[in-house]
Amino acid sequence: MSEPPTPAQVLREARQKDSRDKRARVLSVVDQLVADDEPVTFTGVARAANVSHWLVYAEGVREHIEAARRRQGRHAANDARAGANAPAGWKVEKRLLQEDNRRLREEVERLKDAVRRSLGQQLDQFGAADLGVRVDELTEDNLRLQGERDEAMARIKELAAELSEVEDDLASARLSLRHMIRAENQNTGPR
């Protein structure tokens, strides 16, 4: 029969499992970034994997990240050479897409600002009087709920007292019934 693990062993095993999980999460994030053709950086990987910066520079992890960065660098160099040989239509299309992306980003920012302004105006419309009325309503509700709670607590105490009384009566009835059964058994005894 084996002995149960000591607290130190349990703690060590838990830390090792946590370390393995974090390292696996980092490697998964690196592979996902490469697959999505996103730039692989130590800070980006640490942030995406929700781990410390120390871990991404640790032995075994750092090498994996550096290898992914080298692969991306070679891929970017190949893309640059391919871009030089790309048809003029593709270059124009790429430029148009970049302009569309820039325009869409600006529109998103403009819409975000409009929403912020609208929310600010709505908040400004609530005056101090409206807030005072709302505070009064909430205070009344609070007092009403406190009264209901107090009534419920009193009712619970009453019911607990009744229950205790009924339990005492039941115990007495059981005891009396036992005495009656015992007396009846003694009177009718074996014949």
Does residue 54 share a domain with residue 17? Answer: yes
Helix, strand, coil percentages in the chain from 3-state DSSP, rounded to 5: 85, 0, 15
Lowest pLDDT segment from 97-111, 122-136, 169-183: 122-136
Q: Answer yes or no: do 81 and 12 share one domain.
A: yes
Residue 143 has pLDDT above 90, yes or no: yes
Report pLDDT digits (tens) over 34-67.
888 888 888 889 989 999 889 989 898 999 999 9
Residues 81 and 1 reside in one and the same domain: yes
Pair 136, 166 in one domain: yes
State how far the Cα of 34 lies from the Cα of 74, in Å rounded to an integer: 12
Q: Do the Cβ atoms of 46 and 52 come closer than 8 Å?
A: yes
Amino acid at 30: V
Q: What pLDDT sits at residue 5?
A: 81
Report pLDDT for 87.
Answer: 63
Residue with tokens 């819409």: 111
Q: Domain count of the chain?
A: 3
Instruction: Indicate whether 68 and 142 sit together in one domain.
Output: no
**CA atoms 179, 181, 184, 186: torsion sign:** negative
Residues 190 and 155 in one domain: yes
What is the structure's pLDDT at 36?
85
Is the same domain home to 12 and 76?
yes
Question: What pLDDT score does 24 carry?
Answer: 93
Question: Torsion-angle region of residue 5: left (phi > 0), alpha (psi -120 to 50) or beta?
Answer: beta
Question: For residue range 11-37, what is the model confidence (pLDDT) as tens digits?
Answer: 888 889 998 999 999 999 999 988 888
For residues 95 and 158, the model is more confident at 158
pTM over 0.85: no
Q: Are residues 2 and 67 in the same domain?
A: yes
From the list 31, 63, 37, the residue with the least C-alpha distance to 49 is 31
Give the residue among 71, 30, 31 at the shortest CA–CA distance from 47.
Answer: 30
Determine what percent of the chain is predicted with pLDDT higher than 90: 44
**Pair (115, 40) in one structural domain:** no
Residues spanned by the domain of 148: 129-191
User: Average pLDDT of the chain?
Assistant: 85
Does one domain contain both 121 and 134?
A: no
Note whether 185 and 158 are same-domain residues.
yes
- pLDDT exceeds 60 at position 82: no
Shared-domain flag, residues 105 and 169: no
pLDDT at 89: 67
Find the mean pLDDT for residues 59-78. 84
